[in-house]
Structure 1
Amino acid sequence: MQLVSYNPNWRHQADQLQQQFHDQPWLKASSHIGSTAMPKVLARPIIDIALLVPDLTAATEAIHGQPVPEQAQTIQLIVAGQPFHLHLCLDEARYQTLINFRDYLNAHRTDSRKYTAVRQGLPADAHYYAAKANFVAGINAKATEWLRTKDQHEHHDRTVRAELVNMCLIINPATQEVVVENKIDAQWTGLTFPGGHVDPGESQVHAMRREVYEETGLTVNQLKLVGTVTWVENDAGDVSLGTLYTTTDFSGDLLAGSYEGAISWQPLASLTPDKLAPSVAELLQVFTNPEINEAFWGADDTQLNLS
């Protein structure tokens, strides 16, 4: 069978048809199902919609479609050249099973690939549904178990301790110089950029402006968030999470130094790794390369990894 890549317009077309059925007395609920509702799955380009109905005869007469061979309680409609299969469900259990099948495959990439492989070898005729019935039944069983235990997997405690920090690259666009601090910390020496900690209850941007002012005497505005840096501190997953900003909007008089160390303007091009404090060379790439927006240091890493 010829399967095609996901088309975002399928969702729009499904919504439009469901809207036409909205508030009809023969309809209790509807949902877009099947492979056209699975963005990561190759699809047969027939839009499937599950309809929960109180009366099968009333629904069938109202829809004015054609029965689908070998598919009980399924009606085909063609709207503006797009075929639809409408699956009529008299009980909520059957209706929910169709929805669960969709949600399970959307959440499980390996089984969704298997679903594609199974269908690719099937004929595009009336025997298509019977041929994939065993696979569908297996997925329905998996979906039932997945939903039964889903809350246990998704609601376990994921709380970790996070220390929020920040750093700012202040650029003079006329000279291509940046503000640097020459750290005097014995454990972390070299040139770095203004930054610090976010106080409890403080916004990230407010903390960045405050830290810059306290350390450099400059007032900064128009802060642009360019990336993040994360250090995983221990096996429990506790982290230091940093937000990285750039700006060319500054005012005030630059201090000669602060408790952090001497402060000066330096040409951006002169900031070679040997002059920078440990890991700052990697952070500079996040600041200056638009294709890099994260630096990450795992619990077992020996350096920052960029992505």
Structure 2
Amino acid sequence: MSKSEKAVFTNMCMVYDDNGRILVQDRLNPNWAGVTFPGGHVNKEESFSYSVIREVYEETGLTIKSPELCGIKQFQTMEDERYIVLLYKTKAFEGELQSSQEGNVFWVQRKDLFNYKLAKDFEKMLEIFESENISELYYHTEEETLQSKLL
């Protein structure tokens, strides 16, 4: 029995500042539409940290520094691949904010975040970004029903 499996690696980053603002993206992709944080796929042979720096730049125009790995989201795809989202956060950035084809990016006060239509399960992911005691959002099938668990 093989211990290996196919996997897809992606990332997401919460960029924030000292004034209580967080950077969000209103995603246009109908498969996962709504407000979330910027991020994307890890390229073959690319470091995880570099991939999140690249993705944030491509989607926001900002160059982030010192992204801190703070958690993970994982689930099985319909093709039986393990889909892994590496969750990062940082308050070190520079550049000029600009939106991309992925969606409009803008700053919001953290306290106002729930005034927006959030992407599916983003609220659960937010708990990982903001907690020191939760590091994983895990999806699994239990009695033929997809369940999620924060660990």
TM-score for both structures, normalised by structure 1: 0.46
The corresponding residue for 1:270 is 112
* Counterpart among 8, 11, 27 of residue 183 in structure 1: 27
Q: 1:169 aligns with which of 2, 8, 14?
A: 14
Give the counterpart letter for 1:258 in structure 2: S
Distance 1:235 1:181, change over 3 A: closer
* 1:296 match: 138
Residue-by-residue CA offset, 1:132-162 (whole Å, 9 max, x unaligned): xxxxxxxxxxxxxxxxxxxxxxxx3122110
- Select the residue among 206, 224, 228 that pairs with 2:50: 206
Alpha-carbon RMSD:
1.7
Superposed displacement of residue 183, structure 1: 1.0
Aligned counterpart in structure 2 of residue 246 of structure 1, from 89, 100, 125: 89
Q: 1:235 to 1:185 in 2, by over 3 A?
A: closer
Whose helix proportion is higher, 1 or 2? 1
Q: Which runs of 5+ in 2 are unaligned?
A: none
Identity %: 32
Superposed CA offset, 1:224-244 (max 9, x none): 1111110122595x2101110
The residue matched to 2:133 in structure 1 has which SS? coil
Change (3 A) 1:289 1:196: same
Separation (CA, whole Å) in 2 of partners of 1:240 and 1:306: 16
Letter in 1 for 2:41: H
Taking a change above 3 Å as real, the CA distance of residues 290 and 260 of structure 1, as seen in their structure-2 partners, is same
Q: Which has the larger radius of gyration?
A: 1
Quick check: 1:180–1:265 contact (8 Å CA) kept in 2? yes
1:160 aligned to 2:5?
A: yes
The DSSP-based 3-state class of the residue aligned with 1:271 is helix
Q: In structure 2, what is the Cα distance between the partners aligned to 1:180 and 1:274? A: 10
1:263 is matched by which residue type in structure 2? Answer: V
Cross-structure match for 1:13: none
How far the C-alpha of 1:218 sits from its partner, in A, is: 0.4
What letter is aligned with 1:240?
Y
Do 2:35 and 2:116's aligned partners in 1 also have CA atoms closer than 8 Å? no
Tell me how far apart the structure 1 counterparts of residues 100 and 15 of structure 2 sit (CA, whole Å).
17
Shift of 1:188: 1.9
Q: Secondary structure at the residue paired with 1:286?
A: helix
The alpha carbon displacement at 1:302 in A equals 3.4
For 1:182-202, what per-residue CA distance to the aligned partner results, in whole angstroms no more than 9, with x for missing partners? 011223221010100000000
Change (3 A) 1:270 1:304: farther
Distance 1:261 1:195 in 2: 11
Q: Partners of 1:289 and 1:234 in 2: how far apart?
A: 30
Any idea what SS the aligned residue of 1:292 has?
coil
The structure showing larger relative contact order (alpha-carbon pairs under 8 Å, at least 6 residues apart) is 2
Q: Tell me, what secondary structure is at the counterpart of 1:275? A: coil
Letter in 2 for 1:242: V
Q: Which residue of 2 aligns with 1:193?
A: 37
